[in-house]
Structure 1
Amino acid sequence: MLLAAVVATTPLAIDMYLPAMPMMATELATSIGLVQQSLSIFLAAYGIGMLLFGPLADMLGRRPLAVFGLTGFILASIALSLASSIEWFLAWRAVQALAGAAASVVVPGIIRHLYQQHTAKGMSYVSMIMMLAPLVAPAMGSGIIWLASWQAIFLFLACYGMLVVGFCWRFLPEIRSDSDMQRPAFFSGYIKVFRHKAAWPDIASSMFASFAFFCFLTAVSFVYIGYFGVSEQIFALLFGFNVLSLMSANLLNSRLVVRFGPQRMLRFGLIVALGCAGLLSVFNFLGLGLWYTVFTVAPLMASLGLMATNADAMIIMQFPDNSGTATAVIGTLRFGSGALAGPLLAWFYTGDALPFSVLMLGGVLAIGVSQLWRQFGHQGLSAARD
């Protein structure tokens, strides 16, 4: 639960202030477009932070970096509540993302140490608990601005960070390994990760799963509210339904992955995703109603979560002494591919729900290609050994 609470700083920081964007644009005397730009800046800075702090987690240790990152997150959140201009808001938003990356990059390495060959099970548990954050964050943000103001959202994030850093100071373990006396240099970890060709297909699978997920996240408000015309309250329920689907998938994975292994669970998720993404594209091509999309997206999102969790676990298990660096690579590619979703959706905009459906299908097909690459690559290695 503590590891999930650390990781949850990011979805809370992303989702809690979304309902306050129109109010912020008015009070900061700027356009809604610039306020929305703060989300892109956060994602970009978070990806950069993963690159920077991933190797440092391997070099300096995970507990000190988590405490440092959470402390920076607290200070940046307080500064955001005091921002009086959009320029200062955007600057502190980037600092908040960098600090959040420093805290969350340590988590997969600790999970790998605690769960060893059952890393996928541990990551499923953490993901399942962490999913509570995006489930409740928009409603919490709405409640806070109803009672107070948008500044109170960032004060709440600062208080949350104080609570988590206190528990981390007391309970978060430091990971010690036999290689502690010879900690890797900053760039050597990246060289080791990128030279390990066996991990490339799983890295690609994680990246394309994230791309499909961010296609949904970027388009969901337009699709449900703008295209299908649901109210904000119904939108919150539909969004929560998808988050519950993700949580259910992680619960299922935590129960079955020890028996079947992460590779078979990933392939199961891929089969479900291919069917759901294909149906979603057909339904929206034919212009069918809201509920066709709702009940197709939910299992699709669940299968994306299933694939991403198991792909990440298989990657981390291959780098016991460079788990921070491997996490940085995963995170940077994940958020980098996610950042492509917005421009591509804008490029293919048609005023209906078809573009996001087709782009999600493209992401799932790319995962399928990556897994074929993995299978043929392993067969080639086996043949070479024979």
Structure 2
Amino acid sequence: MPPPAATALPRSAPSDLGMSPALVVLTLALLLGIQPVTTDLYLPALPALTADLGARMAHAQLTLSALLLAFGSSQLVFGPLSDRFGRRPVLLWGLSGYVLASIGGVMAPSIEILIVLRTLQGAAMGAAVMAARAIVRDLYQPADGARVMSRALTGLGVIACLCAPIGGLVSDMFGWRLALLVPAVFGAGTLALVAQRFGETLPRRNPDALRPGTLLATWATVLRNPVFLAFSALTTASYGLLFTFLASSSFVFIQVLGLSKTQYGLVMLWNSLAYICGTFICRRWLPRHGVRGSVARAAGLTLAGGTAMGLLALAGVVSVAALVGPLTLMMLGHGVHQPCGQSGAVGPFPQAAGAASALNGFIMMLAAFAIGGWLGTRMDGTVMPLALGMWFWSACIAAVAWTLVRRQGGSRGH
């Protein structure tokens, strides 16, 4: 069977499936929000967890990087499965596995077992995030999908706003194990919503999606597509910037700058608020400038923030403001790059949205795994790894936005 072409399939509006647009956006926000719940909420507890389990810094970083590698790799399995059997069954099984792995992590007696359970948690999380991106392509054309994805990522931002403060508060009051229980509760609630209210969105199941020949041909077609490559490069660089911050910020702000867990939670709250503002800017810019113009303007914000952070660190200016101020500009840009990049990457593949979403997610998480390994050996009790790492990724984002996306992003409304 030939690989899927970029032709349109008949698709239903959410109302035709018995779902309101608001329910679709809410469900997407929860499915995408499972990622910051799993990572951001965990960060304030990471130094205490490391000390309590007698772990080395590299092992502590592995609880994040291994989770994200499993998260990216599992999408390569869940994507074709969802093209074959539908989004709903993959979501139900994936969310069930996520809840069980989250509960197991609460009871982990050692860092090694915690790493294994976090890996399983990340693999199950892949079903939720992959399906969310594919659902957007099931229901909407690319230009509309960017706006819907932006609304859903606003919801993700709200969830992320709550994660670090709640994680810091619960960890301070009840210990790190109770902080790890919160994702299980979130996953159970999302599972209940999908099971009771969310219908199948895949217009037509592909009975050949799991055949090795078809699968390889589909992946080859996706990976050769210049639009996919351009937007995947954008999402990878954008997530590389975010993950550099996530993987190092708790140690920098708590151990280097001396903030309490609750104060660190407030820094993360501000970070998420800036991201939410970025998603609103995205929706305002898209009708005026299109996807390419919006991405290019956001890249200017990102590069300005990264350069300011890097130069301040090199000049010896070490303070919360010297990091948070530039970070705000970068998070505004992130709120534009992710919805445009994620919807743009799957846009050319209406008949293989699951596979395209999976490859896009895998590439992002492969980069995150490499960043986690690098940070595990470079954290030296200063702000330099964080500041210089984010400066590097901000430059990558600008280069991609101003070259690859500008050339391959399609028409103004793409």
Q: CA deviation at 1:165?
A: 1.1
Of residues 20-29 and 66-75 in structure 1, the stretch that sits farther from structure 2 once superposed is: 20-29
Are 1:202 and 2:227 matched, yes or no? Answer: no
Q: CA deviation at 1:247?
A: 0.9
Are 1:17 and 2:46 matched, yes or no? Answer: no
Partner of 1:292: 322
Partner of 1:132: 158
Rounded to whole Å, the distance in 1 between the matches of 2:92 and 2:155 is: 21
Q: Name the aligned partner's letter for residue 60 of structure 1.
A: F
| Among 62, 66, 81, the residue aligned to 2:106 | 81
Partner of 1:70: 95
Per-residue Cα deviation, 1:121-149 (whole angstroms, up to 9, x for no partner): 11111111112233222332343345545
* Cα distance change of structure 1 residues 197 and 176 upon mapping to structure 2, 3 Å threshold: same
Are 1:188 and 2:222 matched, yes or no? Answer: no
| Among 395, 400, 408, the residue aligned to 1:365 | 395
| Among 294, 299, 307, the residue aligned to 1:265 | 294
Rounded to whole Å, the distance in 2 between the matches of 1:182 and 1:36 is: 39
1:99 alignment partner, SS class: helix
Matches within 5 A, 1:279-318: 279-290=308-319, 291-318=321-348
Q: Name the aligned partner's letter for residue 188 of structure 1.
A: A
* Cα distance change of structure 1 residues 8 and 288 upon mapping to structure 2, 3 Å threshold: same
Q: CA deviation at 1:120?
A: 0.9
2:231 alignment partner, SS class: helix
Partner of 1:95: 120
Q: CA deviation at 1:282?
A: 2.0
Q: Name the aligned partner's letter for residue 209 of structure 1.
A: S
Partner of 1:53: 78
* Cα distance change of structure 1 residues 203 and 35 upon mapping to structure 2, 3 Å threshold: closer
1:83 alignment partner, SS class: coil
Partner of 2:30: 5
Rounded to whole Å, the distance in 1 between the matches of 2:149 and 2:270 is: 21
Q: CA deviation at 1:309?
A: 2.2
Q: CA deviation at 1:194?
A: 0.7
Q: CA deviation at 1:152?
A: 3.4
Q: CA deviation at 1:90?
A: 2.5
* Cα distance change of structure 1 residues 87 and 365 upon mapping to structure 2, 3 Å threshold: closer
| Among 258, 270, 276, the residue aligned to 1:241 | 270
Rounded to whole Å, the distance in 1 between the matches of 2:390 and 2:173 is: 38
Cα pair 1:68 1:103 within 8 Å, conserved: no
Partner of 1:224: 253
Q: CA deviation at 1:269?
A: 0.4
Q: Name the aligned partner's letter for residue 393 of structure 2.
A: G
1:131 alignment partner, SS class: helix
Rounded to whole Å, the distance in 2 between the matches of 1:65 and 1:10 is: 17
| Higher fraction of helix | 1
Q: Name the aligned partner's letter for residue 59 of structure 1.
A: R
* Cα distance change of structure 1 residues 222 and 102 upon mapping to structure 2, 3 Å threshold: same
TM-score by length of 1: 0.87
Q: CA deviation at 1:200?
A: 1.4
Cα pair 1:50 1:332 within 8 Å, conserved: yes
Identify unmatched segments of 5+ residues in structure 2: 1-25
Rounded to whole Å, the distance in 1 between the matches of 2:104 and 2:385 is: 38
* Cα distance change of structure 1 residues 268 and 151 upon mapping to structure 2, 3 Å threshold: same
TM-score by length of 2: 0.82
Number of equivalenced pairs: 381
* Cα distance change of structure 1 residues 282 and 378 upon mapping to structure 2, 3 Å threshold: same
1:310 alignment partner, SS class: helix
* Cα distance change of structure 1 residues 377 and 21 upon mapping to structure 2, 3 Å threshold: closer
* Cα distance change of structure 1 residues 55 and 219 upon mapping to structure 2, 3 Å threshold: same
Q: CA deviation at 1:181?
A: 5.9
| Among 135, 157, 160, the residue aligned to 2:186 | 160
* Cα distance change of structure 1 residues 198 and 160 upon mapping to structure 2, 3 Å threshold: closer
* Cα distance change of structure 1 residues 368 and 85 upon mapping to structure 2, 3 Å threshold: closer
* Cα distance change of structure 1 residues 85 and 341 upon mapping to structure 2, 3 Å threshold: closer
Per-residue Cα deviation, 1:279-312 (whole angstroms, up to 9, x for no partner): 2222222223522332121111221332232122
Per-residue Cα deviation, 1:217-244 (whole angstroms, up to 9, x for no partner): 2232344334444443332222211111
Cα pair 2:50 2:57 within 8 Å, conserved: yes
Of residues 79-88 and 4-13 in structure 1, the stretch that sits farther from structure 2 once superposed is: 79-88
**How much identity, in percent, do the aligned residues show?**
24
Q: Name the aligned partner's letter for residue 106 of structure 1.
A: A
Partner of 1:323: 353
Rounded to whole Å, the distance in 2 between the matches of 1:32 and 1:281 is: 24
Cα pair 1:55 1:189 within 8 Å, conserved: no
Cα pair 1:66 1:102 within 8 Å, conserved: yes
1:106 alignment partner, SS class: helix
Q: Name the aligned partner's letter for residue 336 of structure 1.
A: L
Partner of 2:198: 172
Q: CA deviation at 1:345?
A: 4.2
Q: CA deviation at 1:154?
A: 4.1
Of residues 106-115 and 282-291 in structure 1, the stretch that sits farther from structure 2 once superposed is: 282-291
Cα pair 1:198 1:377 within 8 Å, conserved: no
| Among 309, 316, 335, the residue aligned to 2:365 | 335
Identify unmatched segments of 5+ residues in structure 1: none
Are 1:40 and 2:65 matched, yes or no? Answer: yes
1:105 alignment partner, SS class: helix
Cα pair 1:118 1:258 within 8 Å, conserved: no
Rounded to whole Å, the distance in 2 between the matches of 1:166 and 1:100 is: 16
Q: Name the aligned partner's letter for residue 74 of structure 1.
A: V
Cα pair 1:16 1:153 within 8 Å, conserved: yes
